[in-house]
Amino acid sequence: MKPIKITALRQTTYQDLIEQYEIPQTAACSLQIGQSWICHEAACPKGFCTSAWQSLYPYVFALANGAHHLHDSWMKDPQSALVSCNDGFRPMSFLLEVITS
């Protein structure tokens, strides 16, 4: 399996949805924009959000096993994917890239 670099690119916050539906959280997402991890053998990196991992895992697994052109080729780099976590209140977007060297 190829190693995969995961980079946190952007987080969006839907304050209106938080105010209307969410039970107040003292520690929501702890990941930081620009933070990155290297994933080996398609295993969840240490310290990575387990909820976000559930959203990313199918793409990490596919890329680690040689898949190309995920999402019908909308990525300029065929060995990458842009995936967001499943947090409906403050989703984080991640860039997944195959490490080729």
Query: Coil, strand or helix: which one is 31?
Result: coil
Please state which of the ranges 4-13, 21-30, 56-65, 85-94 shows the lowest mean pLDDT: 21-30
User: What average pLDDT is seen over the chain?
Assistant: 93
Q: What pTM does this model have?
A: 0.91
The pLDDT of residue 92 is 95
pLDDT of residue 70: 87
pLDDT band at 71 (very low <50, low <70, confident <90, very high): confident
pLDDT tens column, 5-54: 999 999 999 999 999 999 988 777 889 999 999 999 999 999 899 999 99
Phi, psi of 14 (to 5 degrees): -100, 85
d(CA 63, CA 68): 7
Task: Compute the residue count for the chain.
Answer: 101
Q: Residue 25: its pLDDT value, please?
A: 80
Looking at the predicted structure, is the pLDDT value of residue 89 above 90? yes
- Give the model's pLDDT for residue 79: 94
